[in-house]
Amino acid sequence: SQTIHQWPATLVQPVGSPLSLECTVEGTSNPNLYWYRQAAGRGLQLLFYSVGIGQISSEVPQNLSASRPQDRQFILSSKKLLLSDSGFYLCAWSVASADYGYTFGSGTRLTVV
């Protein structure tokens, strides 16, 4: 069966520090991978998605970047965190298209101080 792993679960980082959040999927090949940010009252905001290795689509210009170095690995990064980067980050995967919905990871609560 397919599983999705996301870590760390919580993270407290100072302003200006770098960020690396990792997401991996097991039990499937060539998944579509997604990074969302969830903020109270603002729903889920799509940040990046990838349909294959090295292929990244950015939905919202901001202080973050994403990479997909391997088929089932998706990384969210920042060179210098801002206070406004605080939030709950969710990774998700789907089969080749999003027709059938996503499976979400457990999320990372990021607090920038």
Partner 1 sequence: AQSVSQHNHHVILSEAASLELGCNYSYGGTVNLFWYVQYPGQHLQLLLKYFSGDPLVKGIKGFEAEFIKSKFSFNLRKPSVQWSDTAEYFCAVNHRDDKIIFGKGTRLHILP
Q: Collect all residues with Cβ–Cβ distance below 8 Å to 38 and sequence separation of at least 6.
A: 44, 45, 87, 88, 89, 90, 107
Closer to partner 1 by CB, 1 or 97: give it.
97
Find the binder of partner 1 among 107, 108, 110, 112 (CB under 8 A): 107
Judge whether 94 and 103 are in contact, CB under 8 Å. Answer: yes
Smallest gap from Cβ 18 to partner 1, in A, equals 27
Find the binder of partner 1 among 7, 86, 104, 109 (CB under 8 A): 104
Piece of the chain touching partner 1 by CB under 8 A; list 16-24, 66-74, 79-87, 91-99: 91-99
Across 16-101, the runs of DSSP E, i.e. the strands, are: 19-26, 32-39, 43-52, 55-58, 65-70, 73-78, 87-94
Find the binder of partner 1 among 90, 93, 108, 112 (CB under 8 A): 90
- In DSSP terms, 44 is beta-bridged to 38
Instruction: Return residues touching partner 1 (CB under 8 A).
Output: 32, 34, 36, 41-44, 46, 49, 51, 57, 59, 90, 97-102, 104-107
